[in-house]
Amino acid sequence: MFRRLINNWQAKLGSLILAVVFYINLQNSKILVKEIHIPIEYPKLGGSLTVSKTSDKTVPVKVEGVREYVNYYSQFMKAHINSSELKPGENMVSVYRISGAPAGLRITRLKDKIKVNVESTSGKSLPIDVKFTGDLPQNYVKTNHFVSPSAVYVSGPPGVLEGLGRISIPPISLKDKTESFTFKHKLPEFPATVKVRDNVKEVTVRVNIFASASNAGETLLLGIPIKCQTLDKNLEAEFSEPEVSVKLQSKTPLKSIQVIKGLSASVVCSHKYDPKTKKILPDNKPVFAKIKLNKTASLKAVEVLGVFPDRISILYKIKSDPHSSGTDEKNDGTEEENTIEPDSNPELLEEE
């Protein structure tokens, strides 16, 4: 039997070698080596730090493994970096982990370091400047105007924000205007690194115009200050309009001091300060509030024809010392008389 095995052994050995070569070649045909660029998934940075768009977006790697695995899993791979290695400015850091690949794939990094630019962002409020030109026709007055938003909140690199200030819109003409109207204007273009909160695109100005005395017995009172009821002692309230105008009708002549002491305007300030989170609840966005006009008994027979504006926007801010015990802003919510002295009284326009 041994002789049979060694009989013509050269041909048998050649066949065995050829079979081994074919087997190895078959196995190698299933192995794929591929160079790809995988995306970098940047971590969320704390505070006011953000990763700049100028940072590297991908990193090159070499992937080796079974052809089907390489082609399938390559689309899910992501590179990760350690956030603790990042600081403001330019950073050259290494990829510490690649996710999305099974254990059977061999991944080789083809680049030692990647560039990560970290920017420090801050916020700034840009007030809207509104100016008027021209004169209204006789017997017409501009009672007030309402700007929405009254300020635009932007965020970006501190160096860029330093160059931004008040936003001016074209002067609004009052010539020949006999009724209230709305004026709209697009916001100017900001630098690419500056973001506008709430995606505000334009400014709207509502101008209220009223006839000073259209009928007998009518009185137009300008400049009644708005008070804030139930305001949290740790908050400040910024009104879009600090004053309102009121049109009254009375069968008997009114004295200026009688009207001044008999009328008061207020809004309910409902937002609260949470000392645990140190935030405004429910949020710090501007809200609309309806004007409440209060009359004393001395004006019981006087009819209120209109209040302008009838609602305002309120922006709440946390006081610099939110735990101060000051009571200058505190209000128990009860109605009280407007006790402004006559030397700072509103303007009273009456029919002659």
Domains and CATH numbers, the chain: 15-120 (2.170.120.30), 123-212 (2.170.120.40), 213-320 (2.170.120.30)
- Residue that wins the pLDDT comparison between 342 and 38: 38
Nearest to 193 by CA among 49, 53, 17: 53
> How much is the average pLDDT of 138-152?
83
Q: Residue 284: is its pLDDT beyond 90?
A: no
Model pLDDT for residues 1-55, shown as the tens digit of each residue: 556 656 676 776 777 777 776 666 655 557 888 899 999 999 988 777 888 888 9
Sign of CA dihedral 46, 50, 55, 59: positive
> How much is the average pLDDT of 314-318?
89
Model pLDDT for residues 61-116, shown as the tens digit of each residue: 999 988 888 888 989 999 999 988 988 889 999 998 999 988 888 999 999 899 99
> How much is the average pLDDT of 267-294?
90
66 contacts 37 by C-beta, under 8 angstroms: no
Q: Residue 338: is its pLDDT beyond 50?
A: no
Residue ranges in the chain assigned as alpha helix (H): 2-6, 9-29, 67-73, 158-161, 256-262
Nearest to 42 by CA among 77, 90, 73, 79: 79
80 phi and psi, to 5 degrees? -125, 145
CA 142 remoteness from chain centre: 32
- Residue that wins the pLDDT comparison between 42 and 192: 42
52 phi and psi, to 5 degrees? -70, 155
Q: Residue 272: is its pLDDT beyond 60?
A: yes
pTM greater than 0.75: no
Sign of CA dihedral 128, 129, 133, 135: positive
Helix (H, G, I), strand (E, B) or coil at 309: coil
Helix (H, G, I), strand (E, B) or coil at 149: coil
Q: Residue 270: is its pLDDT beyond 50?
A: yes
C-alpha distances in Å from residue 307, one per residue of 20, 159, 263, 292:
98, 44, 12, 9
Which one-letter DSSP state was computed for residue 320? S
Please tell me the distance from the alpha carbon of residue 152 to that of residue 197, in angstroms, as a whole number: 8
Q: Which residue has the tokens 């908050």?
A: 235
Sign of CA dihedral 286, 339, 262, 141: negative
**pLDDT given for residue 146 in this prediction:** 81
- Residue that wins the pLDDT comparison between 325 and 273: 273
- Residue that wins the pLDDT comparison between 346 and 21: 21
